[in-house]
Amino acid sequence: MKSPRAILLLLLLALSTGTALAQSRAADSLRRLLNTARRPDTTRVRRLHALVTELAATDAPQALRLGREALGLARQLRDTAGIGRGLLWLSILHRREARYDSARYYTLLARQLFARRHDRRREAKACLELSLIDQLQSNPASALAWALRGLPLAEQSQDLAVQTQLRSTIGGIYSQIGDYPSALAMLQQALRDGRRLGDQQVVAATLSNLASTYQMQKKWPQALYYFQRAVQASQRMGDVKNETTNEIGLAEVYGQQGDHTQALEHGYRARTLVRTNQDEYNLPAVQLMLARSFLLTQRPDSAVALARQALQLSQRTRSNGNIGNAADVLAQAYAALGNYRAAYEHQRLYADYQDTLAGEATQRKTSALRYGYELGKKQNQIALLNKTRQLQAQRGARQRQQLYGLLAGLVGALLVAALLWRNVYNKQRANRDLNEKNEQIARQRDDLTRALTGLREAQTRLIQREKMASLGELTAGIAHEIQNPLNFVNNFSEVSVELVEEFMDGPWQRLPEAEKAYATELLDSLTQNLQKITHHGHRADSIVKGMLQHSHASTGERVLTDLNALVAEHLPLAYQSFRAKNKDFNATLTPDFDSRVQQVNLVPQDIGRVLINLFNNAFYALQQRQLTGPADYVPELVVHTKRQRNQVQIRVQDNGIGMDEEIQQKVFQPFFTTKPTGEGTGLGLSLSYDIVVKGHGGTLSVASQPGQGTEVVISLPV
């Protein structure tokens, strides 16, 4: 079964809905204007963009050429509005040609421009375009991130049209990842808003997404109903591409119900539309739909031929959705033909595609994105409460001014004192009610602020835990994959050394004296080579074990911890561990703990891992200077803890070899190390940075002078 029809959203930004004849007349008129008025000004830029709009659906190469000309002229004139429109149009045209890298490049430039100009409406359109590009490449997490980033921008600019397009896109993504209740709610709202706006493109795309959502749930009557309405809407607009896509959807639903006659009828209709309009975009989908029909009618050979063509076309255009569907069809067809090896290979390709949509990592990312969107709503509620309080404060100020006027009138109007006293009493009561309301609003605001702070902390922990888990899984997977072949290398090298020794004790003795010298030389070289293989194999084995140690994930639960005790526990532990590998190394350890540093809320396993990494790096720097420094050099490591206003600090100082400025700028990058090959993985400081900064909201900094030493400072919030 196909994924929900994100393909239809490809046409959401199409600006042309007239007939082909009207488009041709408009295009001819614009060409005449451009040929007669050649002055390079902003008017020419807008006319070029209008001609691009007319030609986008009928002459893509010409539209691309004119779009580049318009962008170049807009940049020459420094026409920022024209630059933004030009970038967005080039992105749309490249996306329609399945050139997604170029499309993403132009859209990112457009979004940056709109963000600098604080143009929220067009920035929301750029986010929509980026979401469509990622959705077409079956990257639902990134597509959802861009859509949820664009929706608040569209809401702030009160652009209902872009809001509706984004909701239709978000609904399609929810359906794609299997969240059908959320998808249906979002798509129904988009359908209502699209009809109210009279936006037939959005209505047609949303109808198709609703049909696909019901198809994924195997609710065939609803799927057929919405696909048929989507076909009718596409025919009314003259939108052949969407009509083709919906005909494919009808064929799939009939095929899934077992009605092969109707399935083939709609399938051949879709194929006719593709051939008539030379629609290479929908061609793989038509081939896959017919291949499924052949598969269901026990014709696996025909299914293989069509599915292989579809797979080749999809791989050329990098259409991940069609690649996954083609792999699924080929796996079933090869299995029916008894070619189980090919079936297994294509089944693995299909499983990899499914993992990108429904894997745990994708689910965690999409959940975190929706979580962040809810946080944004909370922030808007707090802003609204603050604004309400300001308005009521202004109203109270006006009431106080009226009260002062009444009091002044009391001096000159003793005859109406009773009436004035009554008015004063009423105003005071109103002020008391107003003060009570202000206090209530302040309490609500404070409660929401605390809730928002808690949600932010939870989101930060969730993201950090996910990152640490992903890094651990990746590292452990790589290490385990390397471990087996590495064990074979070590074992066979040791066995080969023993075989050489046996040869020296046996057959070598029986060789003629003239050949013994040459054989001895060869065997010595072979023995040296095997010893080197064994040495380097053991070095690689230690690296793999180090990677496995880095992959161990912590619980991520923060607890109140005595920070001084934690540092005092890990300092001698790291020192003894380093001396166990370096017998001749000795250093002076100087702890300097601030008694005001007491209980700190942190993850002790993670901070302990950071301390071990920092201490080991310091010991290594001390050892290197001890080997190359003067004879009277005394290695020393000083560890300070200090309590400041809202944070605590851990300062690790050594008088080792130090680092220059260039190395200091790279030390926190993953896999960067200053140690020789085989002595460091380059993961320690990168992992430490993530734990301190992203996991605990602190800071990690380094300061160093070559030949004098290094100081690393950890700052953690209290």
Q: Encode pLDDT of 96-124 as tens digits.
A: 877 888 999 999 999 999 999 999 999 99
660 pLDDT higher than 50: yes
**pLDDT of 393:** 67
What φ, ψ does residue 37 adopt, rounded to 5°?
-110, 95
709, β-bridge pairs: 705
Our separate counts of H helices and E strands in the chain read: 25, 7
Q: Encode pLDDT of 160-174 as tens digits.
A: 888 898 888 888 888
* Calpha distance 363→358 (Å, rounded): 6
* Calpha distance 383→295 (Å, rounded): 58
Structure-model confidence comparison of residues 594 and 23, the more confident one: 594
Query: How would you write 514-560 as a 3-class SS string?
Result: HHHHHHHHHHHHHHHHHHHHHHHHHHHHHHHHHHHHHHCCCCCCCEE
* Amino acid of residue 540: A
* Calpha distance 66→21 (Å, rounded): 21
What φ, ψ does residue 75 adopt, rounded to 5°?
-65, -40
Q: Encode pLDDT of 270-311 as tens digits.
A: 888 877 776 666 777 777 777 777 777 778 887 787 778 777
Closest CA to 122 of 153, 82, 166: 153
21 pLDDT higher than 50: no
Q: Encode pLDDT of 562-574 as tens digits.
A: 999 999 999 998 8
1 pLDDT higher than 50: no
* Calpha distance 541→559 (Å, rounded): 35
**Mean pLDDT across the chain, nearest whole number?**
79
* Amino acid of residue 527: T
**pLDDT of 97:** 79
* Calpha distance 17→203 (Å, rounded): 13
Q: Encode pLDDT of 359-395 as tens digits.
A: 444 444 545 555 455 545 555 555 556 666 676 667 7
* Calpha distance 471→551 (Å, rounded): 7
- What contacts 144, CB < 8 A, 6 or more positions away? 131, 170, 173, 366, 369, 370
**pLDDT of 8:** 40
**pLDDT of 651:** 94
Residue ranges of alpha helices (H) inside 258-282 are 260-277
- What contacts 575, CB < 8 A, 6 or more positions away? 587, 589, 615, 619
Angle (CA) 558 564 569, round 5°: 90
pTM for the structure as a whole: 0.46
Which of 8-17, 70-79, 342-351, 473-482 has the least mean pLDDT? Answer: 8-17
Gyration radius of the chain over CA positions:
35
588, β-bridge pairs: 636
CA atoms within 13 A on the CB side of 62: 13
CA distances from 311 to 306, 321, 325, 441 (A): 9, 10, 9, 60
**pLDDT of 17:** 36
Q: Is 278 left (phi over 0), alpha (psi -120 to 50) or beta?
A: left
Give the H/E segment covering residue 652.
Answer: strand 647-654
**pLDDT of 411:** 66
* Calpha distance 604→72 (Å, rounded): 57
**pLDDT of 701:** 92
* Calpha distance 572→382 (Å, rounded): 49
671 pLDDT higher than 70: no
Angle (CA) 123 128 129, round 5°: 95
* Amino acid of residue 254: Y
Which residue do the tokens 């488009």 mark? 23
DSSP-assigned states of every residue in 433-465: HHHHHHHHHHHHHHHHHHHHHHHHHHHHHHHHH
Give the H/E segment covering residue 246.
Answer: helix 240-257
Q: Encode pLDDT of 506-530 as tens digits.
A: 787 777 877 777 778 887 888 888 8
20, β-bridge pairs: none
**pLDDT of 134:** 86
Tell me if residue 271 falls in helix, strand or coil.
Answer: helix
What φ, ψ does residue 639 adopt, rounded to 5°?
-120, 120
* Calpha distance 534→542 (Å, rounded): 12
Structure-model confidence comparison of residues 248 and 351, the more confident one: 248
16 pLDDT higher than 50: no
317 pLDDT higher than 70: no
**pLDDT of 5:** 45
Contact 597, 648 (CB under 8 A): yes
* Calpha distance 177→362 (Å, rounded): 8
What φ, ψ does residue 568 adopt, rounded to 5°?
-65, -30
* Calpha distance 654→638 (Å, rounded): 6
Burial 511-529 (b: 16+ CB within 10 A, else e): eeeeeeeeeeeeeeeeeee
Q: For a pLDDT cut of 90, what percent of the chain falls above it?
A: 13
CA distances from 498 to 276, 504, 507 (A): 74, 10, 14
First and final CA of the chain: distance in angstroms? 53
* Calpha distance 55→556 (Å, rounded): 56
**pLDDT of 376:** 54
Q: For a pLDDT cut of 70, what percent of the chain falls above it?
A: 81
Closest CA to 70 of 93, 95, 40, 92: 40
Q: Encode pLDDT of 634-658 as tens digits.
A: 999 999 999 988 899 999 999 998 8
Q: Encode pLDDT of 147-203 as tens digits.
A: 888 889 988 888 888 889 888 888 888 887 888 888 899 889 988 998 898 888 888
Tell me if residue 648 falls in helix, strand or coil.
Answer: strand
Q: Encode pLDDT of 564-621 as tens digits.
A: 999 999 999 888 888 888 888 889 999 999 888 878 888 888 898 899 989 999 999 9
Q: How do strand 709-717 and strand 699-705 relate by DSSP bridges?
A: antiparallel
**pLDDT of 15:** 35
